[in-house]
């Protein structure tokens, strides 16, 4: 029996999840408390890739095994909603290996993890020689029903293979894979517009054979990245992210995260009263999301003017690191900049964040100001992409993944039709 090594995980701050659903825009005077409706708990389907490139992660007791075991255990025992069997002590987990086919295992998480060894991987069957990421994702997505969530664990390395070596045209393969991944997700979104994806990047010891893009073998014994995906309806993913804290994942913890979902039709928000020293204005009663008699505090270069906007981002599947970064917003009026903080006012059941619209020039600029939350690929994806896919011992390559920007680019392309998650508008008079 393996001994599972437990170590501290990194801290990862996530956006406030759950809470009231977004609905029609309304003013503070029309607000009412909303009771959280407890939905049925989803069935969790787990797919651990057991292609040959994964063997090095499961040789002995590794951070890979500890991370997967701790996360699956927390998911299984979390309060994710009303269970089908009211007497059940834990959520339903369907455990599988996946390569060229899905290989279902016995429903015992501990046994599933303790059996992770290269020899066991080989015994499970399927074609382990290459990883067709587009086909694997298509299989998982097509098998994820609306009342289910899938967890996919893989190194996420494309495997073009030897046939691309003579012409050195492996890039054609990964571009085709990117398009295929996009198409699979678009087809899923047509059936369930709330289908969403979370991708976590972790690292673990890897002691085995690394296969480059032409399947040339390189033995390595070093830390290597791997990925855990969550896929399913946004409401379920929000619940899981709220109930199962990622900073509790064992091993080396989550290094990076990418979340994506369909844009919102509306964002709930409200204009706050002015704060002392930040200018003056009145909230217009005859026009929603408008202020009047706006004036700065001070004169010339010392002028200050700020509008506080309480916003509900609870239904947006994004981490706080993204939501609180001003670079991820576009302000239609260049006279203004943004600060984003966690909401700390009296209606914490209704709002999650405060957007502070700050005047950047001495003279007040009036008119309509639109604030849009951009939908962009996180920079870490490009930073963690191995572009060549040839020599794993090349400087910096050990920490990177071949073709990652194409893989997650395919995911992004399926969602990012207009490049934003949503917007809010105020009128300064």
Find the mean pLDDT for residues 26-33: 35
Q: What is the predicted pLDDT for the residue at 385?
A: 98
Q: Are residues 89 and 49 in the same domain?
A: yes
Query: Is 385 within a domain?
Result: yes
- Does residue 142 lie within any of the structural domains? yes
Whether 58 and 153 share a structural domain: yes
Residue 325 lies in a domain: yes
Query: What is the count of structural domains for the chain?
Result: 2
Of 426, 335, 291, residue with least CA distance to 372 = 426
Same domain, 315 and 395: no
The pLDDT tens digits for 182-237 are 999 999 999 999 999 999 999 999 999 999 999 999 999 999 999 999 999 999 99
Question: What global pTM score does this model have?
Answer: 0.87
Examine residue 23 and state whether it is found in any structural domain, yes or no. Answer: no
Pairing of the two strands 217-233 and 102-104: unpaired
The predicted-structure confidence for 46-91, as pLDDT tens digits, reads as follows 999 988 889 999 988 899 999 999 999 999 999 999 887 766 779 9
Q: In what order do the strands lie in the sheet with 93-98?
A: 102-104, 93-98, 43-49, 148-154, 217-233, 195-211, 254-260
Helix, strand, coil share of the chain (percent; to 5): 25, 30, 45
Question: Are residues 131 and 256 both part of a single domain?
Answer: yes
Same domain, 139 and 183: yes
Residue 180 burial (CB count, 10 A): 17
> Is residue 198 domain-shared with residue 327, that is, in the same domain?
no
| 68 and 123 share one domain | yes
Residue 309 lies in a domain: yes
Report pLDDT for 419: 86
Task: Domain of residue 193: give its range.
Answer: 40-263+376-421
Q: Answer whether residue 384 is part of any domain.
A: yes
Q: Is residue 31 part of a domain?
A: no
Residues 252 and 273 grouped into a single domain = no
pLDDT band, residue 3 (cuts 50/70/90) = very low
What's the CA angle centered on 95, arms 209 and 196, to 5 degrees?
Answer: 90
Residues 281 and 386 in one domain: no
How confident is the model over 242-263, as pLDDT tens digits? 999 999 999 999 999 999 999 8
Q: What is the pLDDT of residues 108-129, one digit of tens each?
A: 999 998 888 777 766 666 665 6
Q: Give 123-174 as a DSSP string.
A: HT-S--S---HHHHHHHHHHT--TTEEEEEEE-------GGGTTTT-HHHHH
Instruction: Examine the domain organization and report whether 232 and 312 are in the same domain.
Output: no
SS (H, E, C) 301-335: HHCECEEEEEECCCCCCCCHHHHCCHHHEEECCCC
CB 364 within 8 A of CB 305: yes
Asked if residue 273 and residue 125 are part of one domain, the reply reads: no
Same domain assignment for residues 121 and 157: yes
Q: Has residue 360 been placed in a domain?
A: yes
């Amino acid at each position: 029996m393996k001994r599972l090594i437990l170590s501290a995980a990194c801290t990862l701050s996530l956006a406030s999840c759950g809470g009231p659903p977004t609905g029609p825009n309304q003013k503070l005077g029309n607000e009412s408390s909303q009771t959280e409706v407890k939905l049925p708990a989803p069935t969790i389907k787990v797919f651990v890739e057991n292609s040959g490139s994964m063997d090095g992660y499961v040789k002995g007791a590794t951070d890979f095994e500890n991370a997967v075991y701790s996360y699956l255990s927390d998911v299984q025992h979390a309060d994710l909603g009303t269970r089908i069997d009211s007497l059940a002590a834990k959520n339903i987990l369907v455990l599988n290996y996946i390569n060229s086919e899905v290989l279902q295992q016995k429903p015992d998480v501990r046994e599933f993890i303790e059996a992770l060894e290269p020899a066991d991987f080989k015994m499970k069957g399927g074609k382990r020689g290459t990883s067709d990421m587009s086909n694997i994702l298509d299989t998982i997505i097509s098998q994820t029903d609306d009342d289910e969530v899938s967890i996919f664990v893989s190194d996420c390395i494309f495997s073009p293979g030897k046939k691309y070596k003579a012409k050195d045209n492996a890039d054609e393969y990964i571009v085709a894979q990117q398009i295929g991944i996009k198409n699979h997700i678009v087809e899923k979104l047509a059936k369930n517009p709330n289908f969403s994806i979370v991708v976590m990047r972790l690292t673990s010891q890897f002691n085995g054979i690394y296969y480059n893009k032409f399947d040339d073998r390189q033995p390595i014994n070093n830390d290597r990245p791997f990925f855990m995906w969550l896929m399913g309806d946004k409401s379920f993913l929000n619940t899981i992210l709220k109930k199962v804290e990622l900073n509790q994942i064992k091993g080396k913890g989550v290094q990076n995260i990418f979340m994506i979902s369909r844009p919102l039709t509306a964002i709930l928000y409200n204009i706050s009263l002015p704060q002392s020293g930040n200018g003056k204005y009145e909230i217009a009663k005859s026009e929603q999301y408008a202020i009047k008699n706006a004036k700065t505090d001070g004169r010339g270069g010392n002028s200050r003017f700020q509008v506080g906007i309480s916003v509900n981002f609870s239904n947006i599947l994004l981490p706080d690191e993204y939501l609180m970064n001003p670079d991820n917003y576009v302000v239609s009026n260049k006279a203004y900049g943004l600060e984003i903080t966690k909401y700390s006012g009296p209606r914490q059941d209704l709002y999650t964040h405060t957007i502070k619209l700050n005047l950047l020039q001495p003279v007040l600029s009036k008119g309509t100001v639109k604030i849009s939350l951009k939908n962009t690929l996180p920079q870490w994806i490009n930073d963690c992409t191995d572009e060549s896919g040839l020599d794993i011992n090349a400087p910096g390559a050990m920490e990177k993944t071949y073709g990652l920007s194409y893989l997650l680019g395919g995911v992004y392309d399926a969602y990012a039709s207009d490049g934003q998650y949503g917007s809010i508008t105020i009128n300064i008079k």
